[in-house]
Structure formats: structure tokens, C-alpha cells
Amino acid sequence: MTRNNDFDLFRITEEHEEIRQAVRSLAEDKIAPDAAQVDETASFPQTAYDALRAADFHAPHIPEEYGGAGADALATCIVIEEVARACASSSLIPAVNKLGTMPLLLGASEEVKAKYLPPVARGEALFAYGLSEREAGSDTASMKCRATPDGDGWVINGQKSWITNAGAAEYYTVLAVTDPDGRRGANVTAFVLEKSDEGFTFGAPERKLGIKGSPTRELNFDNVRIPGDRMVGGQGEGLKLALRTLDHTRVTIGAQAVGIAQGALDHALDYVRERKQFGKRIADFQGLQFMLADMAMHLEAARQMVYVAASKSERNDPDLSFFGAAAKCYASDVAMQVTTDAVQLLGGAGYTRDFPLERMMRDAKITQIYEGTNQIQRVVMARSLIGSSS
């Protein structure tokens, strides 16, 4: 692992803080009031999507040349963090727009970028990402989805599992095996599929513990024919492109985790300042003060790791793999601990749906699982370390 010490690891600018305040205000006014209902009904957060589109925060990472806001990686993380502070499901709108389009930004031809990025930038379409399969989760190279040459195009057969915003998104980056006899890991290619493609269907919505407002479904491909100009990057480069994408987008999951944890801490602080027992505020009990101090300390450490990783993502630093995995892993573990402690601070009230803490605790859990489990993140980090010493 190589560290670059030639410049600041990250710098929060006045523009970043203006973005934070704008998103926080929007989230408190337009997103937080519907968060419980979105969770209760497992419905797509349309009000949040409309509000984010109106303010141009739905896909802030898309460059200006494609009609986007051109936000840097740190600004994009701040957007996701502040939305997640109010509603984790809604934060997956900007996060998954980045996940789905990142392979295009990293490896697509100019023609593919010009066709698919502007509609997302205008808020006319969501973009999702199809990598995992039922038997190819952590072991992505064992995928079975196939793309077979057919004239000047391709025919795709197979399925993808656990796809965030499936059905709600118009476009999908899909990874498929294009050379079944080729070397494992070098026989996969990325393509763009459109929701309207004949033979492209969706499985039933998954019944999940958390992030219920973000639809999660399988993608099913039954002889889906697409033109050859839908390829993203070169043939056989898909898995390499997918892993490079995750290096960048794991940072956004870290930002989501930080936002969830911050929301939980904020609600817990409001409660302990008001709740009285034994004739005084429970905030005045030292045992609870120690809990709050630890929650805030670990949360701030996680935020700093995410911001460092975001800046490395923006610069495409060579040690991004380590820092992206570390930020996602640490921040998600912190989110799980902070939300659990927040529920504890509220006691019985924290266990009810009258307060948002139980929802935040359920939402936090997925951050330890998707875009690579935290066990896989530790493998990524270890390989970065071992590789640097060999």
C-alpha cells in the first residue's frame, strides 16, 4: 500500500459546508417527515426523490459535461450522509445512481456516456448495478449470467440478485460472462441494459429487515438481445471494472453509515436531555455520558476516515482500495454500534416505532453487508497490505 503525503488528505471547503446545510435543510423538511411511513409501507420514497431532483442532489457526482452538478467525491459523500441522517432508504437514490454509473465514468466510450449519463443527471432515470447472483455474492468471479454474441449484438441470459432500486431504475450496468472457457476473472464484460428491453423482468420485492423504502429485487434475463454499442469498457474487462467501481462506491456506503449513526446520536441526545429519572435529567448520569462520549468519538473517527477515502477517490490514489474498504468497514461497524447504543439510551421507548431509533438500527445493519461484507473488506485491506510488502 502506497501513501501519498504530498498534499492534504482532504479539505472541507466553504462550498462543501454550503452543500451540507442545503441538504440538511431539505432532508429535515422534505424527507424526514415521510421516513417512518416509507419504512412502514416498504414504498419507494418518491417525495424524497422529487425533492432531491428539484435541488439537483439526486446524482450530484455526474460531471457538468453530461448535464450534472459536477460534485466531487467528498461533496457527494456529504449529500449521502445528510440524506441518510434523515432516511437511509432515500440516501440510496444518490448512492446507487453513483454505483450504477461509475463503470461508465471509469470505462465506457464517449458515445455510451453521452447517451446514458444526461438522463440521470436530469432526473429522468435512475441507474442501478447488477453484479451479485444467488451463488456469486462475495465470489463475484463465479457468476453464471451469460452474454452470447449474436450478429452485431449480444444475447443475455441469467439472473442477478439483491439489486438495489431494481424496478425503479430505468438503466442497469450488468456484468455477464462473455467467454465461458476463458480465464476466471478475465472473461466477464459489462453492459448497459434498459428496463424496456424485451425479456428483461424482475423478481418479487425482497422482504427486508431495513432500508425497506429502497426496492431490492432480482433481475431476470431471458434471451435479452442488446446492440453491441451497449458494452461498457472492453470485452473481458468487466470484473476489473466492477472492482474498480466498488473501490470508489464503498466510500459512499461509509458516508451512508455515518449519516445513519449521526441521526441516531442526534435523537438520543434530544431524548436524554429531556428524560428525567431520580429527580434529574438522565443526561446528567455519568454512565450515560460515557456512552454518549464513546458514540460521538467513534462516529467522528468514522467520518474522518470516510472523508479521507472520498478525497482519495477523487484523486484516484493508488491506495484507494485499502482506504475505501477501511472507511466502509469501520463506519458501518460504528453505525451498528451507535444505533444499538442509541436504542439502549431510550430504553423501552427506543424499542418502539414511536421513535426512529429502531428503524435506524435496522437500517444500519445492511451497511455491514452490501457492496462487500465487512469480512470481505478485511480481505481487501489485508491483500493491500501484504501486496505492498512482497
Residue 187 in any domain: the answer is yes
Of 111, 126, 141, the last residue of a domain is: 126
Q: pLDDT tens, 107-154?
A: 999 999 999 999 999 999 999 999 999 998 888 889 999 999 999 999
User: Do 214 and 168 lie in a common domain?
Assistant: yes
The pLDDT value given to residue 140: 86
User: Do 292 and 200 lie in a common domain?
Assistant: no
Regarding pTM above 0.75, the answer is: yes
Q: Does residue 200 carry a pLDDT above 70?
A: yes
Query: Which of 196, 199, 158, 205 minimizes the C-alpha distance to 177?
Result: 158
Q: Does residue 389 carry a pLDDT above 50?
A: no
Mean pLDDT of the chain: 96
Residue 8 in any domain: the answer is no
Of 126, 158, 178, the last residue of a domain is: 126
Give 85's contacts (C-beta < 8 A, 6+ positions apart): 24, 27, 259, 260, 262, 263, 266
Residue 328 in any domain: the answer is yes
Q: pLDDT tens, 79-114?
A: 999 999 999 999 999 999 999 999 999 999 999 999
The pLDDT value given to residue 136: 87
Q: Does residue 202 carry a pLDDT above 60?
A: yes
Residue 44 in any domain: the answer is yes
User: Do 109 and 214 lie in a common domain?
Assistant: no
Tell me the C-alpha distance between 141 and 131, whole Å.
10
Tell me the C-alpha distance between 247 and 313, whole Å.
8
The pLDDT value given to residue 2: 52
Residue 38 in any domain: the answer is yes
Strands of 37-152, DSSP E: 127-130, 146-150
User: Do 344 and 218 lie in a common domain?
Assistant: no
Q: pLDDT tens, 177-191?
A: 999 999 998 999 999
CATH number reported for the structural domain that contains residue 110 in this entry: 1.10.540.10
User: Do 224 and 343 lie in a common domain?
Assistant: no
User: Do 318 and 369 lie in a common domain?
Assistant: yes
Tell me the C-alpha distance between 82 and 263, whole Å.
9
Tell me the C-alpha distance between 368 and 365, whole Å.
6
The CA–CA distances, whole Å, from 190 to 97, 178, 229, 288, 379 equal 16, 9, 11, 51, 24
User: Do 96 and 86 lie in a common domain?
Assistant: yes
User: Do 341 and 380 lie in a common domain?
Assistant: yes
Q: pLDDT tens, 264-280?
A: 999 999 999 999 999 99
Residue 1 in any domain: the answer is no
The CA–CA distances, whole Å, from 14 to 60, 74, 75, 255, 262 equal 17, 13, 11, 19, 21
Assign residue 162 a region (left: φ > 0; alpha: ψ between -120 and 50; beta: otherwise).
left
The pLDDT value given to residue 4: 54
Into how many domains does the chain fold? 3
User: Do 253 and 270 lie in a common domain?
Assistant: yes
The CA–CA distances, whole Å, from 172 to 99, 123, 212, 279, 349 equal 10, 15, 20, 58, 41
CATH number reported for the structural domain that contains residue 196 in this entry: 2.40.110.10
Q: Give the residue numbers annotated as catalytic, written as ranges.
A: 371
The CA–CA distances, whole Å, from 100 to 80, 111, 232, 249, 358 equal 15, 17, 12, 10, 29
Q: Hey, which residues does 127 pair with through a beta bridge? A: 171
Residue 70 in any domain: the answer is yes
Q: What is the pLDDT averaged over residues 244-262?
A: 98
Strands of 165-304, DSSP E: 171-177, 188-194, 200-202, 216-227, 231-232, 276-277, 280-281
Of 236, 266, 283, the last residue of a domain is: 236
Q: pLDDT tens, 282-326?
A: 999 999 999 999 999 999 999 999 999 999 999 999 999 999 999
User: Do 329 and 353 lie in a common domain?
Assistant: yes
Asked if residues 221 and 200 have their Cβ atoms less than 8 Å apart, the reply is yes
The pLDDT value given to residue 3: 56
Sign of CA dihedral 141, 143, 149, 152: negative
Q: Does residue 6 carry a pLDDT above 70?
A: no
Residue-range definition of the domain harbouring residue 37: 14-126
The pLDDT value given to residue 137: 86
Query: Which of 321, 312, 385 minimizes the C-alpha distance to 10?
Result: 312
pLDDT confidence of 390, banded at 50, 70, 90?
A: very low
Residue 288 in any domain: the answer is yes
User: Do 99 and 135 lie in a common domain?
Assistant: no
User: Do 232 and 265 lie in a common domain?
Assistant: no
